[in-house]
Structure formats: structure tokens, C-alpha cells
């Protein structure tokens, strides 16, 4: 049997701990395994759709009153589209749609919605740099998100003259992992790299390590943005890294590049 080229499995023998919510965690794990890595998923955020309320139904039915609609995540986009399918067989025209990142934009564009997104970056700050969000004269903006979060978007747009209404579609909570699951993921699996793609995920990881006799401070830590990297360093993590994008393939490539560039610092963790 022919031996595959080394580049086809750049992470052979590496152990990757993925702390994303499901189903994203399992999808990313598949990409890492395709690159030769061993994976373990330990989601540190669990998302749950919120029940429908009369207030939410009114917002959906009055969608045509908004001139700008901002969707903050692929999960929020999928939930919103389910609502729109129920109440809007044909979407109202004249609305400018925005997505925080390419993943969210792709969910909307697959539904036929022309969507604006940052040309570089996938943060609230990158979205707010778009020229079409620079100045308002009382226009109504709908911010589609979880039960909390993304306050920077709301606050900044209100300062710029917009009237912002939040449409919360889901809540986030910390999964109730057992001590055995945590021990297995941190000590027994001994990952070379950890994927934590939000500030909230990182906070939960910090708390988890703080309650454990083992921490992951010396491991490669993949985070989504500079402010989360700073937060990680302040908590004691010495190797935070921001990938080229949050696409699964770019995350895998960043981990491979970082681990290959630091052989000896990570390879003997177990």
C-alpha cells in the first residue's frame, strides 16, 4: 500500500481538543481527523432556542419596518430563517442585510438574501467599520442574536443615530460535564492544541481549568480575535493564535502551521 504524502496528513499524531458548540464541534473534528489528528470534543457552550413570545412574533411580522438587519452568527441565521419561512413567504424589499463573518453570510446567501459582511475580519469591530453603518438618521436596525452579547454593536450604532432593536432567538449556557469527562479531555487526552472560538468559550475554559488540578496554559490555543487573545494571555495562556479565518479549513491550517513551527514545545505533552 502506498504511503500518503506527508502534506496530506500534516497533523498525524497531534491531539486537538475542540470546545465549540455542537454541531460545529463535530464538523470541525472531522476536518482535523482528515488532516491526521486525533480529536476530542468538549463543548463549553450549549445553545438552546428560546420559546416564541408575542413580542418576538410582532418583530418578525414588522420586519419591513427595519432598514438594516444584522445577524451575528450562523446559528442565529438558521433560527431566523425558520421564523421567516413561517411568516414571510416572500421577504420584504429595501432591507440591507449584514452578517458578522463569512459563515453567517453563507447561511443567508444560500437562502437568496444579498448580505454585506466585512471584507477582512469577523468581529463586531470589523462589521462596524462598514461604510453603510457609519451614520444614521433614526433608521431602525434589527440585531438578531442570542439572549445577550454583541452589546458593542448596539451601543455603537445607537451612538451613530440608529434605533436598534434586539431580537434574541437563543440562549447560551455551560454544559454540565462530569468530572470524568473533564479529566479525560484535559489530563488523559493531553491535547497539543485547544480550539476556543469565542470570548465566552474562553471564559468557560478558564473556569474549567481553575477547578481542575491541570491546566492548558502551555498549549496552542486558537482564539477568534485580538481581544480574546489578550484575555487569554491575562489568564496565563502563553500561546494564543488567531487563524486566517474561522472557516474549518483555515483553522486546521493554522494549527498545522503553528505546531510544525514549534515542534518540541507541544509534541511531548502526553
Domain presence at residue 266: no
The widest CA-to-CA distance across the chain, in whole angstroms, is 68
Grid coordinates given for 69: 438587519
Checking if the pLDDT of 102 tops 50, the result is yes
Residues 115 and 190 in one domain: no
Checking if the pLDDT of 5 tops 60, the result is no
Residues 90 and 159 in one domain: yes
The per-residue pLDDT for 122 is 82
The per-residue pLDDT for 33 is 97
Domain presence at residue 2: no
Domain presence at residue 123: yes
Percent of the chain residues past pLDDT 70, beyond the cut: 93
Residues 149 and 68 in one domain: yes
* pTM beyond 0.85: no
Grid coordinates given for 218: 502551555
Domain presence at residue 269: no
Residues 64 and 143 in one domain: yes
- Domain C-terminal end among 138, 156, 171: 171
- The neighbouring-strand residues paired with 41 are 18
Residues 24 and 60 in one domain: no
Residues 22 and 63 in one domain: no
Residue 268 — very low, low, confident or very high, per pLDDT cuts 50/70/90?
very low
Question: Domain of 244: which CATH number?
Answer: 3.40.50.10090
- Cβ atoms within 10 Å of 268's Cβ, excluding its own: 9
- Lowest average pLDDT, out of 16-20, 209-213, 227-231, goes to 209-213
Q: What value does the mean pLDDT take over residues 217-230?
A: 94
> What residue numbers bound the domain in which 221 lies?
10-45+175-261
Angle at CA 171, nearest 5°, toward 166 and 177? 160
Residue 208 — very low, low, confident or very high, per pLDDT cuts 50/70/90?
confident
Tell me how many domains the chain contains: 2
- Domain C-terminal end among 171, 206, 239: 171
The per-residue pLDDT for 245 is 87
The Cα–Cα gap between 29 and 74 comes to: 18
Residues 217 and 251 in one domain: yes
Grid coordinates given for 197: 472560538
Domain presence at residue 90: yes
Residues 156 and 128 in one domain: yes
Percent of the chain residues past pLDDT 90, beyond the cut: 73
Residues 190 and 161 in one domain: no
Grid coordinates given for 264: 518540541
Tell me the pLDDT tens digit for each residue of 43-62.
999 999 999 999 999 999 99
Checking if the pLDDT of 6 tops 90, the result is no
Residue in 28, 33, 30 with CA at minimum distance from that of residue 13:
33
Helices 102-110 & 74-87 angle (0-180, nearest 10): 20
Residue 7 — very low, low, confident or very high, per pLDDT cuts 50/70/90?
low
Domain presence at residue 236: yes
Residue 116 — very low, low, confident or very high, per pLDDT cuts 50/70/90?
very high
Domain presence at residue 137: yes
- Lowest average pLDDT, out of 107-121, 129-143, 163-177, 199-213, goes to 199-213
Contact 211, 193 (CB under 8 A): no
Residues 63 and 85 in one domain: yes
Residues 197 and 111 in one domain: no
Residues 89 and 74 in one domain: yes
Domain presence at residue 1: no
Tell me the pLDDT tens digit for each residue of 168-199.
999 999 999 888 888 888 888 999 999 999 99
Amino acid at each position: 500500500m502506498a504511503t500518503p504524502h506527508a502534506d496530506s496528513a500534516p497533523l498525524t499524531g497531534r491531539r486537538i481538543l475542540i470546545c465549540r458548540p455542537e454541531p460545529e464541534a463535530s464538523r470541525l473534528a472531522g476536518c482535523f481527523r482528515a488532516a491526521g489528528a486525533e480529536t476530542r470534543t468538549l463543548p463549553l457552550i450549549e445553545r438552546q432556542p428560546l420559546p416564541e413570545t408575542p413580542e418576538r412574533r410582532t418583530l418578525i411580522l414588522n420586519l419591513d419596518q427595519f432598514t438594516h438587519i444584522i445577524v451575528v452568527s450562523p446559528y442565529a441565521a438558521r433560527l431566523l430563517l425558520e421564523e421567516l419561512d413561517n411568516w414571510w413567504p416572500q421577504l420584504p424589499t429595501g432591507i440591507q442585510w449584514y452578517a458578522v463573518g463569512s459563515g453567517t453570510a453563507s447561511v443567508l446567501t444560500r437562502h437568496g438574501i444579498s448580505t454585506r459582511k466585512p471584507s477582512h475580519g469577523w468581529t463586531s469591530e470589523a462589521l462596524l467599520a462598514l461604510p453603510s453603518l457609519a451614520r444614521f438618521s433614526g433608521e431602525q436596525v434589527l440585531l438578531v442574536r442570542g439572549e445577550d452579547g454583541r452589546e458593542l454593536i448596539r451601543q455603537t450604532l445607537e451612538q451613530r443615530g440608529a434605533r436598534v432593536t434586539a431580537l434574541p432567538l437563543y440562549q447560551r449556557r455551560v454544559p454540565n460535564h462530569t468530572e470524568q469527562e473533564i479529566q479525560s479531555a484535559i489530563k488523559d487526552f493531553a491535547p497539543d492544541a485547544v480550539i476556543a472560538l469565542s470570548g465566552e468559550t474562553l471564559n468557560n475554559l478558564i473556569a474549567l481549568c481553575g477547578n481542575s488540578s491541570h491546566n492548558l496554559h502551555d498549549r496552542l490555543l486558537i482564539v477568534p480575535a485580538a481581544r480574546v487573545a489578550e484575555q487569554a494571555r491575562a489568564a496565563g495562556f502563553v500561546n494564543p493564535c488567531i487563524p486566517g479565518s474561522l472557516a474549518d479549513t483555515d483553522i486546521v491550517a493554522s494549527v498545522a502551521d503553528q505546531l510544525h513551527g514549534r515542534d518540541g514545545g507541544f509534541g511531548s505533552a502526553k
